[in-house]
Copies of this chain bind each other. A is one copy, B any other.
Amino acid sequence: MKITIKDVATEAGVSIATVSRVLNKKNRVKQETKLRVQQAIHKLNFQPDHTARSMIMKETRTVGLIVPNLSNEYWALLAEVIQDKLWEHGYSLIVCSTNKSADKEMAFVKSFTVRRVDGVVFGSSTLFGSSRHDEQLANMLKSLPTVSIDPSISGLNSVVGDNLQGATDAVEHLIGLGHRRIAYIGGPTVSKQRELGYRNAMMNHELPVLEELIKRGDDNTIAFSSFGYHSMLSLLESGEKFTAVFCGNDLIAIGAIRALEDRRIQVPADISVIGYDDINIAALYKPSLTTVRQPMREMGSAAVDMLLELIQCPDGNNVPKKIVYQNQLVQRESSGPAR
C-alpha cells in the first residue's frame, strides 16, 4: 500500500493540511510541528503523488518533444540538450519520434493535450505545406504553449538555423575556390532552404543552374549515405561535367565521397565535396568534411528559454517570435581549388 499524506498526518499527529504546508514550504508552520512532520515523512518514506498534485495545480511539469527520429545525431543531440535544461527547471521530457509519419505526429500532439503537458517542442523535417493535415496539426499546436524547431510554422514561436545563408556561404566558398560547375545532392526531407541557398549563390555569381546537376530524391526510407552514394554515381554516369558538389547533409556527403573513391576520383583534388550539419563524424572522416555547422546546443537551449517563458506567462504578448541562428561554414579537407 502506498503511503499517502494522510498516513503522514496521522503519524505526526497533525492534519493533512499541515503536512501539505510543510511540503510546499509556503505558509509558515511552527518550527516544532514542522520537524515532527518531516520526521514522519522520512520515517514512512513518503513521496507526494505528483499526479494528484498536477490535477489541482493545473500543471504537470512535463513537456513533450516531437522529432523525426533519434538515430539522427542532429535530433538526438537536440533532445539531450532540451531534456537537460528542462530538468534544471523541474520539468520532465516525453520524447516522441515520428519516423516521418504524419499520422503519428498528429497522434503524439493529441496525446500531449490529453496528458496536459505544459508545453511542447516541435521539431520535424516533414515539409510544412498548407495541406488539410498540416493546418489541423498547426491548430492543435497553437492551442498548447509550443515552440517549433527548424520548420518555422506561422503563428508559432520558433527557433531555426539560417539554412539559406549557410548554404549560400558554402556554395560561394566553392565558387571562390574557382569552381563553376557545381552539383547539388539534396536528399529526401532535407530543408528546401539549402537548395535555395545553392541557387542563390549560383545566381549571385551569374552561374547557370543546370537541372541535370541537381539530385533530390523523395524516398523517405532510404538512408542518407546510400542516397548520396547512388546520386553521385548517377551524376557521374550522366556524363555532365562538374568539379564540386554541395550536399544536403553530412551523411549524404559521406556517401558521395565513397562513390567517388570507388571510381578512383580524388577528393578534393578532382572533385570537392561539402556537407551540412557538422555531425561528429565530419571532423573524423577521411578526408575531413568541409561543412556548415548548425548550432544545435544553442538552438535547443533557446527553445527551452522561449518555452519556459510561454508557460510562465501564458497571457504575455502573443506575437510569435522567431530566433534565427547563423550557420557557420567549417572549412576542412574535402574542399579545395578547382582543377
**Also in contact, A113 and B258, with CB within 8 A (given A70-B77, A80-B70, A94-B93):** no
Q: What is the CA–CA distance of A113 and B114 in the complex, to the nearest angstrom?
A: 21
9 interchain residue pairs of minimum CB distance: A76-B76, A70-B80, A95-B95, A70-B76, A50-B115, A50-B114, A281-B281, A51-B54, A92-B94
Q: Are B116 and A97 closer than 8 Å at their CB atoms?
A: no
Q: What is the minimal beta-carbon distance from A304 to any residue of chain B, in angstroms?
A: 15
Q: What is the CA–CA distance of A200 and B305 in the complex, to the nearest angstrom?
A: 51
**Also in contact, A84 and B99, with CB within 8 A (given A49-B114, A51-B55, A285-B285):** yes
Q: Does A178 contact B (CB under 8 A)?
A: no
> Inside 8 A of A70's CB, which chain B residues have their CB?
70, 76-77, 79-80, 83
Interface string of A80-105 (1 = CB under 8 A from B): 10011001000011111101000010
Q: What is the minimal beta-carbon distance from A103 to any residue of chain B, in angstroms?
A: 12
59-87 of chain A: CB within 8 A of chain B: 60, 62, 69-71, 73, 76-77, 79-80, 83-84, 87
Q: What is the CA–CA distance of A111 and B48 in the complex, to the nearest angstrom?
A: 10
**A71 partner, pick from B69, B76, B251, beta carbons under 8 A:** B76
**A116 partner, pick from B50, B79, B261, B281, beta carbons under 8 A:** B50
> Inside 8 A of A104's CB, which chain B residues have their CB?
87
Q: What is the CA–CA distance of A286 and B286 in the complex, to the nearest angstrom?
A: 7
> Inside 8 A of A113's CB, which chain B residues have their CB?
47
Q: What is the CA–CA distance of A285 and B289 in the complex, to the nearest angstrom?
A: 12
Q: What is the CA–CA distance of A47 and B96 in the complex, to the nearest angstrom?
A: 20
Q: Does A254 contact B (CB under 8 A)?
A: yes
Q: Are A80 and B71 closer than 8 Å at their CB atoms?
A: yes
Q: Does A268 contact B (CB under 8 A)?
A: no
> Inside 8 A of A115's CB, which chain B residues have their CB?
50-51, 92
Given known contacts A51-B60, A261-B286, what 17 new A-B pairs fall within 8 Å (CB)? A47-B110, A48-B114, A49-B116, A50-B116, A69-B80, A70-B70, A70-B79, A71-B77, A73-B76, A83-B97, A84-B97, A84-B99, A92-B94, A92-B111, A92-B115, A93-B96, A255-B284
Q: What is the minimal beta-carbon distance from A251 to any residue of chain B, in angstroms?
A: 8
> Inside 8 A of A281's CB, which chain B residues have their CB?
254, 281, 285
Q: What is the minimal beta-carbon distance from A253 to any residue of chain B, in angstroms?
A: 11
Q: What is the CA–CA distance of A29 and B49 in the complex, to the nearest angstrom?
A: 34
